[in-house]
């Protein structure tokens, strides 16, 4: 398939998820990525279970973000390690790191020093907090950023405790911003010959990811609250309990609600305000109660059949294993088997969800195993 970044070389000093996720995306687009790990390895190699073959095998966590890379051990606290790194940077286009800013400076990896020594090198730094805020020296882990950014405060049932999202989405979001920033920097360098420093703070990636929730808080000055599986600005737009499971119904237009009301046997004449979303938001509780009374008396298949026949967006609430395996080919084609070099060992992975000329972007190399 097309590899638009095939002529670029990336040196990846990052670990855990955000930085490695960014460089994996670049590898999927064809970039040559050299992953440099400390003597103890990327910490995620030990994050499990699950591991491939008991406690001695590869971790699923490491595998999720390191496809398409070659790896080597390097100790940056030694002169030999620094010399090896700087030799690699002579021919590199991008260096990706996720040290705290003060740690990067102590290692000789600050922007001013690197730019003076390697004027064509783009530096991409993933931080917990931006270098120009007072919290800049704090470590940034996904859980901490979800707590600090307000994500946990708006996640969970209304009367329950704040909850984190089920996957490390702050890291993923920051990784996507980082990869996008790197590609923009490469394009800028191609046009102007100027290399730049990209910085992606997890905290600010999380705040940007609040989208309409943050926009509402900025507009009103009010504190957003938790809505469970419901939507603060759209009704009905949530999951509903059925006799044999849960179904998600996403009414995105007033016309769709009128059709849903017909199925419910709901007379809108006494409630003309319900014909508009803003009226339904005001009477959320009454409308949700009416819908769930009907869904609880129905099976998931019954509800889905009615919704499909009438153009109402709806879906079954599925488990992860169900959608990965049983729905592959129907709902997605993201599963990609990779083969270990020189063996028939298959490493299952999820390709990047970007189709280029009809093919999903996916590097051919499986995540690198740790050298003994």
CATH code for position 118: 3.40.50.10540
How many domains, the chain? Answer: 2
Question: CA 129, CA 140: separation in Å to the nearest integer?
Answer: 7
Indicate the helix (H) or strand (E) that contains 237.
strand 237-242
* Residue 293 structural domain: 237-317
Asked whether residue 97 is assigned to any structural domain, the reply reads yes
H or E segment at 180?
A: helix 169-192
**Based on the domain organization, do 32 and 156 belong to the same domain?**
yes
Co-location of 289 and 188 in the same domain: no
Q: Is residue 173 part of a domain?
A: yes
CB atoms within 10 A of CB 196: 17
Tokens of 99: 């040290």
CATH at 248: 3.30.1540.10
Q: Verify that 196 and 256 share a domain, yes or no.
A: no
Distance CA 105, CA 108 (A): 5
Residue 353 and residue 301 share a domain: no
Residues ≥6 apart with Cβ < 8 Å to 21: 64, 65, 171, 172, 175, 176, 179
Question: Would residue 217 count as lying in a domain?
Answer: no
- Catalytic residue (choose from 12, 132, 171, 302): 171
| 50 falls within a domain | yes
Active site residue 171: yes
112: in domain: yes
Phi/psi at 295 (5° precision): -70, -35
Residues 6+ apart with CB under 8 A from 222: 216
| Same-domain status, 40 and 133 | yes
> Rounded CA gap, 83 and 98, in Å?
20
Identify whether the C-beta of residue 352 lies closer than 8 Å to the C-beta of residue 361.
Answer: yes
Q: For residues 33 and 98, state if they share a domain.
A: yes
| 288 domain residue, yes or no | yes
Do 253 and 348 fall within a single domain? no
Do 275 and 165 sit in the same domain of this protein? Answer: no
pLDDT digit string (tens) for the chain, length 372 residues: 789 999 999 999 999 999 999 999 999 999 999 999 999 999 999 999 999 877 768 899 999 999 999 999 999 999 999 999 999 999 999 999 999 988 999 999 999 999 999 999 999 999 999 999 999 999 899 999 999 999 999 999 999 999 999 999 999 999 999 999 999 999 999 999 999 999 999 999 999 999 999 999 999 999 999 999 999 999 999 999 999 999 999 999 999 999 999 998 888 999 999 999 999 999 999 999 999 999 999 999 999 999 999 999 999 999 999 999 999 999 999 999 998 876 778 889 999 999 999 999 999 999 998 875
Q: Measured between alpha carbons, how far is 100 from 116 in angstroms, rounded to an integer?
A: 21
Is residue 241 located within the same domain as residue 175?
no
Residue 81 is assigned to a structural domain of this protein:
yes
pTM to 2 decimal places: 0.94
- The reply to whether 38 falls in a domain is yes
Q: Is residue 137 domain-shared with residue 67, that is, in the same domain? A: yes
Residue 131: Cβ-neighbour burial (10 angstroms; 0-12, 13-18, 19+): middle
Residue 192 and residue 312 in one domain: no
Same domain, 168 and 134: yes
């Amino acid at each position: 398939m097309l590899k638009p970044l095939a002529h670029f070389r990336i040196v990846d000093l990052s670990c855990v998820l955000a930085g490695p996720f960014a460089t994996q995306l670049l590898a999927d687009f064809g970039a040559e990525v050299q992953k440099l790990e400390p003597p103890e390895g990327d910490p995620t190699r030990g994050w499990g279970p699950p591991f491939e073959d008991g406690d001695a095998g590869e971790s699923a966590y490491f595998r999720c973000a390191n496809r398409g890379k070659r790896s080597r051990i390097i100790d940056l606290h030694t002169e030999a390690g620094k010399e090896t790194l700087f030799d690699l940077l002579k021919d590199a286009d991008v260096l990706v790191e996720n040290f705290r800013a003060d740690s990067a400076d102590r290692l000789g990896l600050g922007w001013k020093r690197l730019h003076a020594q390697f004027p064509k090198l783009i530096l991409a730094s993933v931080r917990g907090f931006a270098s120009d805020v007072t919290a800049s020296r704090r470590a940034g882990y996904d859980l901490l950023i979800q707590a600090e950014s307000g994500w946990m405060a708006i996640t969970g049932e209304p009367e329950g405790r704040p909850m984190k999202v089920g996957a490390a989405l702050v890291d993923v979001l920051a990784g996507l911003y980082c990869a996008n920033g790197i590609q923009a920097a490469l394009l800028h360098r191609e046009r102007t010959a100027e290399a730049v420093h990209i910085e992606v703070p997890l905290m600010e990636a999380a705040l940007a990811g609040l989208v309409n929730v943050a926009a509402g808080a900025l507009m009103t000055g009010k504190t957003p609250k938790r809505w469970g599986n419901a939507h603060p600005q759209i009704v009905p737009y949530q999951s509903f309990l059925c006799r044999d499971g849960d179904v998600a119904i996403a009414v995105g237009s007033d016309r769709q609600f009128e059709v849903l009301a017909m199925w419910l046997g709901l007379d809108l004449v006494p409630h003309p305000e319900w014909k508009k979303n803003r009226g339904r938001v005001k009477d959320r509780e009454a409308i949700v109660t009416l819908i769930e009374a009907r869904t609880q008396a129905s099976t998931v298949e019954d509800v889905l059949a009615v919704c499909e026949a009438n153009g109402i967006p709806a879906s079954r609430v599925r488990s992860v294993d169900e959608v990965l395996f049983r729905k592959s080919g129907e709902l997605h084609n993201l599963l990609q088997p990779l083969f270990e070099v020189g063996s028939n060992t298959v490493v299952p992975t999820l390709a990047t969800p970007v189709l280029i000329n009809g093919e999903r972007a996916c590097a051919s190399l499986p995540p690198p195993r740790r050298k003994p």
